Amino acid sequence: MPAFTNADILLPKDTELEKWACIACDQFTGEREYWENVEKETADSFSAYELILPEVYLNDEDVGERIEKIHEKMRAYIDSGVFEEYKNALIYVERVQTDGRVRAGIVGAVDLEEYDYSKGSHSKIRATEATVEERIPPRVRIRENAPVELPHIMILIDDAKDSVIGPLALIKDDMKKLYGFELMSGGGSIEGWLIPESEQQRIFSELEKLSDKAGFNERYGLDGSVEPLAFAMGDGNHSLATAKSFYERLKSQIGEEAAKVHPARYALAEIVDLHSPALEFEAIHRIVENTDIQKLMSKARETLGLEKAGGLCTDGFGTVINGETEYYKITKPTSRLAVGSLQNFLDGYLKENKEAGVDYIHGKDVVERLSMRQGCIGFILPDMGKEELFPTVIADGALPRKTFSMGTARDKRYYIEARKIQGDET
């Protein structure tokens, strides 16, 4: 089986798609008001919001009740015929981002047998950032009794010739259009078309070329023995890691042969070309809360050898306190990337100062605003060039967690498509 294939895809019917689709659950984790507004906006309509758990609520006391309610809603949506199923489907997607640029992709299923998120993995599908094992079990609780999945996963292919996705734009008028609408809360707009079988075969053939070992090694100037990295995680790494963890546990329960034909072997995802002009990598910044700022900075200066800098540099970062920013260069790095050195320091600091916490933030303006809170300090990090991604992961394995983000928070993937992930016996 190919690592990326078609799937039996569910789409809502007879509902307001503007209210159905909502942003990825791992966005706006420091802004409860965003999710409160989504709840109000979707209250009178079927919505993917009822089927997902925004991570802002992950540590709330009622999280167990929320998860049970999600499962009940999923079953109710299936039983009441909210979904229409498209068998053996791939969907061509054009997302108009908030900056007006179009990001094209293909929604299908990835084979979890071909995915390994451990650092140093040689699988066809690999994590690009370190996976935090502690973040997986709470998400498995959501997936283990869920009859359907809704993905916000985007996976990158390095297709400089644009041979996989590009040709679809030329024939979209001949394909069946499945949806087209404005996304809520200023998320731009999106359109989707059903890809015919003949085009599916072309796509699989082109993807196979990207996975060819000899061609892969020649493309990256390697010695010929390196296993191909065909698909690199872009967004949703912990969601895919959760699907993998659940699938491996399922194998131990029902046996490998039964698991191989179980729908949980696959996970719905969208593939996007790394070379898309609409795709830009942005740094993910940090906010540390409930901390003694002077103590933290004193420790950071000592550990990282911080020296004042005139602006943001590739081997340093900015600190934001009460909305005021100062820049530093790292002279005692512990990683090839500034974000890695900072993350290593913060990991150690948080272990020793358990009252403090860290959040990962998209957008400097949000960092500046959150830094106004008492006991909060923000860290501004430099962007990473997207051309560095595949060569770095091939050479070094997964990058430090939360190294980069593909676009702003409002340009993240919205939940639209779904897929059944439980067997017929459940």
The three-class DSSP label of residue 141 is helix
Asked if 270 and 183 count as a contact pair (C-beta separation under 8 A), the reply is no
Phi first, then psi, for residue 418 (nearest 5°) are -145, 170
Report pLDDT for 79. 96
Length of the chain equals 426
Asked if 226 and 394 count as a contact pair (C-beta separation under 8 A), the reply is yes
The three-class DSSP label of residue 246 is helix
State in Å, rounded, how far the first CA of the chain is from the last one.
25
Spatial CA neighbour of 328 closest among 300, 349, 361:
300
The amino acid that residue 91 corresponds to is I
Which parts of the chain have pLDDT scores under 70?
Answer: 1, 423-426
pLDDT digits (tens, 9 = 90+) for 155-171: 999 999 999 999 999 99
State the alpha helices, DSSP H only, in 282-330. Answer: 293-304
Report pLDDT for 423. 66
Helix (H) or strand (E) holding 341: helix 338-352
Spatial CA neighbour of 164 closest among 177, 176, 155, 173:
155
DSSP string, 26-85: TSSTT-HHHHHHHHHHTTTS--GGGGS--GGGTTSTTHHHHHHHHHHHHHHHHHTT-EEE
pLDDT digits (tens, 9 = 90+) for 253-292: 999 999 999 999 999 999 999 999 999 888 999 999 999 9
Task: Identify the DSSP state of 195.
Answer: P
CA 419 from chain centre, in angstroms, equals 18
The three-class DSSP label of residue 46 is coil
Asked if 296 and 349 count as a contact pair (C-beta separation under 8 A), the reply is yes
Whole-prediction pTM value? 0.85
Asked if 411 and 97 count as a contact pair (C-beta separation under 8 A), the reply is yes
Total Cβ atoms within 10 A of residue 133: 11
Report pLDDT for 6. 98
Calpha distance 353→367 (Å, rounded): 21
**For the chain, where do the domains classified as CATH 3.30.1760 start and end?**
283-382
State the alpha helices, DSSP H only, in 353-425. Answer: 364-370, 389-396
Residue whose token pair is 């070992």: 213
**Exposure on the CB side of residue 54, measured as CA atoms within 13 A:** 21
Handedness of CA 157, 163, 165, 166 (dihedral sign): positive
Report pLDDT for 424. 56
State the alpha helices, DSSP H only, in 227-332. Answer: 237-254, 256-260, 293-304
CB environment 50-83: b (16+ within 10 A), e (fewer): bbbbbbbebeeeeeeeebeebbebbeebbeeebb
Calpha distance 136→123 (Å, rounded): 20
Asked if 187 and 414 count as a contact pair (C-beta separation under 8 A), the reply is yes
Asked if 204 and 145 count as a contact pair (C-beta separation under 8 A), the reply is no
> What fold does the segment set 283-382 form as a domain?
3.30.1760
Helix (H) or strand (E) holding 340: helix 338-352
- Residue 222 zone, left/alpha/beta (φ > 0; ψ -120 to 50; rest): beta
Calpha distance 257→213 (Å, rounded): 28
Total Cβ atoms within 10 A of residue 90: 25
CA separation (Å) from 166 to 44, 102, 426? 38, 12, 40
Asked if 147 and 78 count as a contact pair (C-beta separation under 8 A), the reply is yes
